[in-house]
Chains A and B, each alone.
Chain A
Amino acid sequence: MLLKGTSIQRKLTRVILLTSGAVLLLTCTSFFSYELVTFRQTTVRQLSAIAEIIANNSTGALAFDSRDDANEVLASLKAERHIVAAGLYDIDGNLFAKYPSDVPANMFPNMPVEESYRFEHSHLLGFQPVMQGGKRLGTLYLKSNMEAMYERFQLYGGIVVLVIALSSLLAYLLSKHLQRGISKPILALAETAKAISDRGDYSVRAVKFGEDELGALTDAFNQMLTQIEEQNLEIISFNQKLEKKVIERTIELESNIIQLNESEEQLKEYQHFFNNSNDLCLIANVQGYFETVNPNLEKVLGYSEKEWVEKPFIEFVHPDDMASVIYEFQRQETEAAMVMNFICRFRKKESSYAWIEWNSIPNPVTGKIYAIGRDITERKNTEEHLQTVNKELESFSYSVSHDLRAPLRSIHSYINILYEEYAAQFDDEAKRLINIVIANSRKMGQLIDDLLAFSKLGRRQLMKTIVNMNSLVEAIWEEQVRLGERKNVELFLSDLPDESADLVTLTQVWRNLISNALKYSSHKDHATVEIGFVNKEGATVYFVRDNGAGFDMKYYHKLFGVFQRLHSSKEFDGTGVGLAIVQRIVFKHGGTIWAESKVQEGTTFYFSISGKISAD
């Protein structure tokens, strides 16, 4: 601190001393030089004045060859103590007279020169022509000793040195005193600045010493400190905020990374799922190209992924299916609707066709279609085979039934003839036995008729018209009540909606269900039948409910089977074909049928004719 402090003090002192010293030195030097020059000029002038007088006085001596007189004239120089030698030369340059007389002649210059004055080794040498009336008679030589003068200049120099020394001393003392006014505030400032940099404490303030520029500097410094202090606080609070924000962001980022990892994992899983699915998974774009296909497409249809994506997919479709494919594709584009169980044929690479069943969903934003297909060629083939077999079976059963009717009718006729013609000859036991044969043959005829009806259904083409349900049901109800001779039964009929259906077969459905309800509730004292509808999954579901015998639900799987019965013929009459026919008609309409029942409480049959409904 002390060292650092003295440096500026020393600098100030040095500046003042150097400045005053330089000024003094310059002043003294110029004064001294001026003195020297003027003194020399004066000396030359004085010497030339003397020389002129002496030369003037010497003319006669030279003119009339009077050495005595010349010596006398020169001897008058004794008064001028500084003149140490004088010589008079005649016109030919010979030394004519000299002063002082005892100086040897060889001390004088051999030949005088033209008028000139020059300094030589602390002497001034002067040559002055001696003229009389414009005519030159000779030359005067004077040698003046300058030592006195130089002594004077030594004195001068001494005084100058003394003055400089004293002035410097005075300047030093003055500066030492005066520089405190400048150095003290600066030192105080420096000390404050050092205290701040050492301790980092910005609350320190520098002391002010006056209202001059340094005072202003101190004020500015203090003001700056205040600003720094404020800014420091701001920076600290900002840093804290920033740190907090960084921590928050880090946490956020970490959770994002975790999420990202998870979603990456998920994506990998999805990819795995996509790539290893046994179904045909693909993404198609609006332009009608497959964009992405899973490897199974190649496995099933034989084309590589590259082949799939370079042509519009419609070119792979069977020509007969193209129209429906384009229709479905456009419908999906315009309505953004899901497509379910859409079946079409795709050409395999080895040029046979595969049946594919498609489920797809469009992306409403991009218009891309995400589709999953399944090769159902095998199922389709089985179905076709089954259909052929069924047809064969139907025609077989039809022909069998048809062929059986003739012999049965003949048995029935002949038994009736036997009974009527020979009744008197038979005892009661024989009559009872014949009646059993007649009943069984009639029953067999009924069976064959039902079987024929059932077989016919498979061949029948449906003729759909709008059916008035209520009037149809009411007519059938009256017919069945009359046929069964029932009196203790009550009907609750809702206002059924009309629907498009094949009237002939639909009549059969209602007839069978109503006759069933009447039949199985016949044992009840107070039988009720309720016919109504519910709306389920957008379709109308009709129901027929009775409060009759009911059945055990564990035999439900046998309910719609041909020749399957849940009750004995003794309890309830029947062939076991009726419900099979009902189911077949409903299926043929594209509907669903199911039943709910409880033993001794009753049964409810539900059916729809305009859409498959899940039964529950």
Chain B
Amino acid sequence: MSVLKKIAHQSFFIFLLACSTVFFSAQTQVAREYQIKAVFLFNFAQFIEWPAASFRETDAIVIGVLGENPFGTYLDEAVRGEEVRGHPLVVQHYRQVEDVKACHILFINATEMHQIKQVLASLKSKSILTVSDATNFTKQGGIIRFFTENKKTRIRINLDAAKDANLTISSKLLRLADIVGAK
């Protein structure tokens, strides 16, 4: 093989590497955001207390995802093998709100925002921590919304909604979060 050919060969590889780096970096940015959010979802289980009635149907703490799953495998990885206060953790995915039965933390994808009022209304009687990263989620009556500030994921809590859902949120979590009232 000639030297020239060799150089051409190497140059091709360097180009390929550069292209993939730009692509993957954008891809990673999004993935990392949802990785953090998956962990946050899991961590909510540790800072929030559910009424005893909510463990009547299942012993596990169920983290549900309504609509399209933005977490990939991150959520499953975050909860795998974990236990909170003796309760195992289970991830479930729901197509529509009617599927949601025994659930403790429900992440509602922003894609479902068009029918958010109906969704929240149907969940009202249940002690379910509703979480979403959609804008105005807390204004709409959702309990926790992820928002990004200075490139960091932060939390906003609608305390009235949490009270309505009969959930107790740890002050440690409250101290980190933006507190809003729905009314």
List residues of chain A with CB within 8 A of the CB of B152.
65
Cα(A168)–Cα(B20), bound, Å: 86
Cα(A60)–Cα(B170), bound, Å: 9
**A69 proximal to B (CB < 8 A):** yes
Task: With CB as the reference atom, state the residue of chain A lying closest to B40.
Answer: A64
Question: 0/1 per residue, B139-183, Cβ < 8 Å to A?
Answer: 000000000000011110000000000000010110110000000
Q: Nearest Cβ distance between residue A450 and chain B, in whole angstroms?
A: 195
Q: Nearest Cβ distance between residue B62 and chain A, in whole angstroms?
A: 17
**Contact in complex: B172, A57 (CB < 8 Å):** yes
Known: A69-B176, A134-B85, A135-B84. A64 touches B155 (CB 8 A): yes
List residues of chain B with CB within 8 A of the CB of A132.
43, 46-47
**Contact in complex: B176, A60 (CB < 8 Å):** yes
**A133 proximal to B (CB < 8 A):** yes
How many residue pairs at the A-B interface have CB separations less than 8 Å? 40
Cα(A57)–Cα(B176), bound, Å: 11
Q: Nearest Cβ distance between residue B172 and chain A, in whole angstroms?
A: 3
**A222 proximal to B (CB < 8 A):** no
**B68 proximal to A (CB < 8 A):** no
**Contact in complex: A64, B173 (CB < 8 Å):** yes
Within 8 Å by CB of B173, from A57, A60, A133, A134, lies A60
**A66 proximal to B (CB < 8 A):** yes
**Contact in complex: B46, A135 (CB < 8 Å):** yes
Known: A57-B172, A69-B175, A69-B176. A63 touches B43 (CB 8 A): yes
Q: Nearest Cβ distance between residue B87 and chain A, in whole angstroms?
A: 10
Q: Which of B108-144 contact A (CB under 8 A)?
A: none
**Contact in complex: A65, B153 (CB < 8 Å):** yes
**A59 proximal to B (CB < 8 A):** yes
**A61 proximal to B (CB < 8 A):** yes
Q: Nearest Cβ distance between residue B155 and chain A, in whole angstroms?
A: 6
**Contact in complex: B153, A133 (CB < 8 Å):** no
List residues of chain B with CB within 8 A of the CB of A135.
46, 82, 84
**Contact in complex: B172, A133 (CB < 8 Å):** no
Task: With CB as the reference atom, state the residue of chain B lying closest to A67.
Answer: B152
Cα(A66)–Cα(B36), bound, Å: 12
Q: Nearest Cβ distance between residue B3 and chain A, in whole angstroms?
A: 46
List residues of chain B with CB within 8 A of the CB of A57.
172
Question: 0/1 per residue, B24-45, Cβ < 8 Å to A?
Answer: 0000000000001000100100
Question: 0/1 per residue, A54-79, Cβ < 8 Å to B?
Answer: 00010111011110010000000000
Task: With CB as the reference atom, state the residue of chain B lying closest to A66.
Answer: B176
Within 8 Å by CB of A61, from B36, B82, B85, B176, lies B176
Within 8 Å by CB of B46, from A63, A65, A66, lies A63
Within 8 Å by CB of B172, from A60, A65, A134, lies A60
Interface size class of A (residues with CB under 8 A): 10 to 19
Task: With CB as the reference atom, state the residue of chain B lying closest to A133.
Answer: B46
Cα(A69)–Cα(B172), bound, Å: 10
Task: With CB as the reference atom, state the residue of chain A lying closest to B43.
Answer: A63
Cα(A269)–Cα(B134), bound, Å: 168
Q: Nearest Cβ distance between residue B102 and chain A, in whole angstroms?
A: 21
**Contact in complex: A64, B43 (CB < 8 Å):** yes
Cα(A510)–Cα(B77), bound, Å: 195
Cα(A273)–Cα(B152), bound, Å: 160
Q: Nearest Cβ distance between residue B150 and chain A, in whole angstroms?
A: 10
**Contact in complex: A59, B36 (CB < 8 Å):** no
Cα(A133)–Cα(B154), bound, Å: 22
Cα(A60)–Cα(B36), bound, Å: 14
Task: With CB as the reference atom, state the residue of chain A lying closest to B174.
Answer: A60
List residues of chain A with CB within 8 A of the CB of B83.
134
List residues of chain B with CB within 8 A of the CB of A61.
176
Cα(A64)–Cα(B85), bound, Å: 19
Within 8 Å by CB of A59, from B40, B82, B84, B172, lies B172
**Contact in complex: B82, A64 (CB < 8 Å):** no
List residues of chain A with CB within 8 A of the CB of B172.
57, 59-60
Cα(A66)–Cα(B176), bound, Å: 7
Q: Nearest Cβ distance between residue B133 and chain A, in whole angstroms?
A: 14
List residues of chain B with CB within 8 A of the CB of A134.
83-85
Task: With CB as the reference atom, state the residue of chain A lying closest to B36.
Answer: A65
Cα(A65)–Cα(B146), bound, Å: 13
Task: With CB as the reference atom, state the residue of chain B lying closest to A69.
Answer: B176
Cα(A65)–Cα(B46), bound, Å: 14
Task: With CB as the reference atom, state the residue of chain B lying closest to A59.
Answer: B172
List residues of chain A with CB within 8 A of the CB of B40.
63-65
Question: 0/1 per residue, B69-102, Cβ < 8 Å to A?
Answer: 0000000000000111100000000000000000
**Contact in complex: B85, A133 (CB < 8 Å):** yes
Q: Nearest Cβ distance between residue B18 and chain A, in whole angstroms?
A: 29
List residues of chain B with CB within 8 A of the CB of A59.
46, 172
Cα(A63)–Cα(B84), bound, Å: 14
**Contact in complex: A133, B84 (CB < 8 Å):** yes
Which residues of B are in contact with A by a Cβ distance under 8 Å? 36, 40, 43, 46-47, 82-85, 152-155, 170, 172-173, 175-176
Closest 4 CB pairs of A and B: A60-B172, A63-B43, A133-B46, A66-B176
Could you list some 15 contacts between A and B, CB below 8 A? A60-B47, A60-B170, A60-B172, A61-B176, A63-B40, A63-B173, A64-B40, A65-B40, A66-B154, A66-B176, A132-B43, A132-B46, A133-B84, A133-B85, A134-B84
Which residues of A are in contact with B by a Cβ distance under 8 Å? 57, 59-61, 63-66, 69, 132-135
- Contacts A64-B40, A66-B176, A69-B175 known; 18 new A-B pairs at CB < 8 A: A57-B172, A59-B172, A60-B170, A60-B172, A60-B173, A60-B176, A61-B176, A63-B173, A64-B155, A65-B36, A65-B40, A66-B154, A132-B46, A132-B47, A133-B46, A133-B84, A133-B85, A134-B84
